[in-house]
Copies of this chain bind each other. A is one copy, B any other.
Amino acid sequence: MDMRLHEYQAKEVFADAGIPTPASQLASDVDGVVDAADEIGYPVAVKAQVHVGGRGKAGGIKLVENSEEAREAADSILGMDLKGYHVDQVLVEEAVDFTNELYVGITMDRGEGKPVAMVSTKGGVNIEEVAEEDPDAIAREHIDPSFGMHPYQARKAVYDAGVDRAVARDVSSILKTLYDLWESKDGSDVEINPLMITDDDEVIAADAVMNVDEDALFRHPDLEEMEEEAAGGDELERKADEYDFDYVRLSGNVGIIGNGAGLVMTTLDLVDHYGGEPANFLDVGGGAKAERIANALDMVFSDENVDAVVFNIFGGITRGDEVARGINEALEAFDEIPKPVVVRLAGTNWEEGMEILNEDLVTVEQTLEDAVERTVEYAEEVNEQ
């Protein structure tokens, strides 16, 4: 899973590495915004610091010309709900006059199993759209991860993209720095979009994306700290982070818990197949013990959209007895079970599990298909009430 830095955090990392960024200050209240804007000098941009694409269109970025406008912008952006995310902080940033906008980025090309550097003169717009509509507008250079990026590769991508020769040297050097950051910080996607070119051929990173491989955070304590700052978003997803579950919230009313990504996805698909709508993806992972199972039930019960829950475990390293104990533990804490739970246990120690499981509290099914079908029925019943 990726850890996404906020724009202001990514810019800090980029600036430390020598990439030019506009003057900016972080602010979390209206007065702070106005003070920062006054100090930086107008025009400035006020930018919501949330992990949402298309912030500009959604009203999360405003360009202001004076203190009054800065106050208005701060008022409207701070505290707003941006595609489900609450805006607590804004970046107040020098507005850069530009003549051109580029895109530069490094990502992992999973098909090739190696990183790829990308450069485009079509910066400032959604690069995925460019990739689809005009793939030739993006120059790509694959990097051998054992050597890292050779300087000539940065140059090649830049010249291939048709970047103006007057800034090609600076852009190449930024691209190389970006790769070195990507490598040294275990980046997954590291991007500047737009990389602005001013009329005196200065090159400035006007936005900054830095997503980091969460599996590699153990070797980046500095980024782990940022992660805590960057945390946010949906309350349930925050809770899932605490419990360390692979969890995705969806829009339906059938809660789903299982072990193993493929099997949980399949359970989602079966819910759909039987006419229901999944409320979430929740993978307890391999070898879950009773407490973790109980936490999973707590997670799904916390989602008020959920009307019924299917609990599907196929034990490999996960043992049926632990699962049963966890379910009992979670449900026995309630006077009344909040939502109907359907359990299907298979694989390692499933018989032991069935003996332990308190069948008064749950509905048991033998097959995946039956379990899902039953849960969808329960969810419909609850829903109709």
Contact = CB atoms under 8 A, between A and B. Distances in A.
Interface string A132-171: 0000000000001011000000000000000000000000
A38 B39 CA distance: 58
Contacts of A147: 146
Interface residues of A, number: 3
- Give the dominant DSSP class at A's interface: loop
Nearest to A148: B146
A142 to B, nearest CB: 15
Nearest to A144: B146
Interface in A91-115: none
Contacts of A144: 146
A125 to B, nearest CB: 37
A150 B144 CA distance: 17
A89 B101 CA distance: 59
A118 B213 CA distance: 35
Contacts of A146: 144, 146-147
A144 B145 CA distance: 13
A146 B146 CA distance: 5
A144 B147 CA distance: 10
A242 to B, nearest CB: 32
A146 B144 CA distance: 10
A153 to B, nearest CB: 14
A144 B146 CA distance: 10
A300 to B, nearest CB: 41
Interface of A: 144, 146-147
3 contacts: A144-B146, A146-B146, A146-B147
